Every structure is written in C-alpha cells, then in structure tokens.
Amino acid sequence: MRLSKYLSKSGVASRREAEKLIQSALITINGNVELNPHYKLKKNDIVKYDSKVVKNNQESIVIMLNKPAGYITSMKDPMNRKIVSDLIDLKERVFPIGRLDKDTTGLLLFTNQGDLALKLSHPRFNIPKIYTSSIDRPFVNWEKKKINKKVYIGQKEWGRAEVLDQKKIKGKVIVKLKLEQGKKREIRRIMYRMKRSLYFLKRIEFGPCKLGKLKEGQWRFLQKDEILELNNL
C-alpha cells in the first residue's frame, strides 16, 4: 500500500492532505523521514506522525458536528484561532469532510477514512448539500434561472445553485438552496454577484445526512446505517 493511502485509511488526513504532510517531512518510516507519497510500505514498516505510531484503522468512524460561527475548519492552527477540533472530544483521529468557512454554521462531517472523505468532498461526485440563508430581498424568476444555470463568481470560476424555497420573515428573506459543486465560498460569491446582502448561512443537509435537532456546538456519531448510505452514494 502507498504511504499516502495508508495515512488516509489510518485517519491521519485525507489523501491530498496526507501527501502534503509527507512532503513537509512530518512522516517517518522506521525512524527516517520519508518524502515520497508513493513509497510502498513493507510488512514490518513502522510509520509515525507527530512522534506517534500510525496504525491502519479498520473501523469506519463518521461524526456530525453542528458548527457554530467563528470557528475555522481545521484540526490545527498555528495562529491559535478557534478551530472545529476544539469542539470534538474524541480519542480517535478524525478530519473534516470538506469545509465550512468561518462565518458559516451547521452540518460538518468528520471521518477517519480518507477514501470516504475524498468521495464526499470532491466536486465531480456532485453530492447535494442543502443550505438555509437570510438575505435582504427575494430572487425573481429570471434570477433563479440564472443561478440554477451558472453565475460567474470570479477567479475564472462559475457557481450554480438551485433555489428550493424562499419566504419573507420580519423584513428579511429566508432562502433554501441546494448546492452540488461545493467551490470555495460558492454561495457567498453567488450572493455577491447577484447583489444580495447575506446575513447568515447554515448547512442543514449533506447528502442523506440531516442536521435535525443537533444543537449548535454539539456532535454525534453517525449510526452504521447512516455510514452505509454515505458509502453507497
């Protein structure tokens, strides 16, 4: 098995992040730094990260967090900002599936399985995610059609989302959106291009997983049938 794959399956990081760790000289094999992500592990090789032995994790763990605003989606931060790992009291090493920006709240999944994280976060798999947001005024029909087709969001990228529902509440408009691509800050960039003021943004569904009544700042393990649904997407 390649070193990068071994690290992702062991819950150290996603495959892509594992490659970065290796190339940053943070992984040792039998006491020696290994910089090649494609190094093929031998039976008796001892892999260490952060001075701890990395063991191949067979049991799949997936947890759901209701992320509050003000936390960045990272497991470590050299600037000592608030990070999502501060909210998770878990001995097993897990990492986020995709990201929510600092000011976005709601459903964030974590796992110890790199392959599952890649499958669920990569844009080409089109995993639907549902968000609720508050804006200053509703979208008219031509705007909804434009957003559903494509909107230029800068940096040579196009964003798209489906407006599922919108209703006025106390002078503001609550909009429910479905997103599949998951580009960086995609909804915020769409709102900016559509000249809307965005007051809050919350993810409430990720594929078959729903946030439900999970309170802000709390987390729970996904049940085996929920994990199976994610694997079968």
Strands (E), 31-149: 32-33, 47-49, 52-53, 62-67, 95-96, 105-111, 129-135
- Describe the crossing of helices 224-231 and 114-121 by its angle, rounded to 10 degrees: 60
* DSSP H/E element including 177: strand 172-179
Which residue among 45, 77, 86, 101 is the active-site one? 101
Which one, of 217, 205, 212, lies nearest residue 88 by Cα? Answer: 217
Residue 169 · residue 205 · CB < 8 Å: no
Residue 89 known to be catalytic: no
Structure tokens at 33: 């730094």
Q: Which residues pair with 157 in a beta bridge?
A: 154
Tokens 């090493």 correspond to what residue? 93
Cα 33 → chain centroid: 29
Distance, in Å, from the CA atom of 6 to the CA atom of 27, rounded to the nearest integer, reads 12
Report the largest interatomic distance among the alpha carbons of the chain, rounded to a whole angstrom: 65
Distance, in Å, from the CA atom of 115 to the CA atom of 231, rounded to the nearest integer, reads 10
∠ Cα 231 222 64 (to 5°)? 100
List, by residue number, the catalytic residues. 101
